[in-house]
């Protein structure tokens, strides 16, 4: 059985970028993720500890990203992957991180990565 839980468009502000002006101001970073998880026990138990706690994980991501200062979203993404995989129920992950308004004429520019345990 395959179960997926997703969080879409989690908006966080952080210092990110390679240009001098990007190092001086916080910019919007948009994070979406989908995890394949083993949560079959939760279907019967109806208990949060038997499923993937997306609120707890998202708070960890927000706290980390807000305090971060990366040049590349690739480096930031790798750290977010580590945060999500702290939950041992996670089997695989699709993570998208983007910077809205990073490129004139584009709604957003970003990166999608896939990881498996």
Average pLDDT of the segment spanning 97-112: 91
88: left (phi > 0), else alpha (psi -120 to 50), else beta? alpha
Work out the pLDDT band at 6, boundaries 50, 70, 90: very high
pLDDT at 95 over 80: yes
- Taking the C-alpha atoms of residue 96 and residue 22, their distance in angstroms, rounded to an integer, is 21
pLDDT digits (tens, 9 = 90+) for 42-91: 999 999 999 999 999 999 999 999 999 999 999 999 999 999 999 999 99
- The percent of residues in the chain predicted with pLDDT above 90, rounded, is 91
Question: Among 3.10.580.10, 3.30.1130.10, 3.65.10.10, 1.10.4010.10, what is the CATH number of 3-116?
Answer: 3.30.1130.10
Residue 1 confidence class, pLDDT cut points 50, 70, 90: low
| Spatial CA neighbour of 69 closest among 18, 10, 33, 11 | 18
Structural domain spans, the chain: 3-116
Instruction: Output the six-digit token pair for 92.
Output: 């695989």
């Amino acid at each position: 059985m395959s179960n997926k839980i997703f969080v879409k468009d989690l908006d966080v502000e952080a210092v990110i970028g390679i240009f001098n002006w990007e190092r001086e101001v916080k910019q919007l970073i948009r994070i979406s993720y989908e995890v394949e998880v083993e949560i079959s026990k939760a279907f019967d138990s109806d208990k949060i500890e038997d499923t993937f706690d997306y609120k707890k994980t998202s708070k960890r991501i927000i706290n980390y990203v807000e305090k971060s200062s990366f040049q590349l979203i690739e480096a930031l993404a790798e750290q977010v992957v580590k945060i999500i995989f702290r939950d041992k129920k996670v089997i695989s992950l699709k993570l998208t991180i983007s910077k809205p308004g990073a490129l004139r004429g584009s709604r957003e520019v970003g990166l999608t990565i896939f990881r498996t345990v």
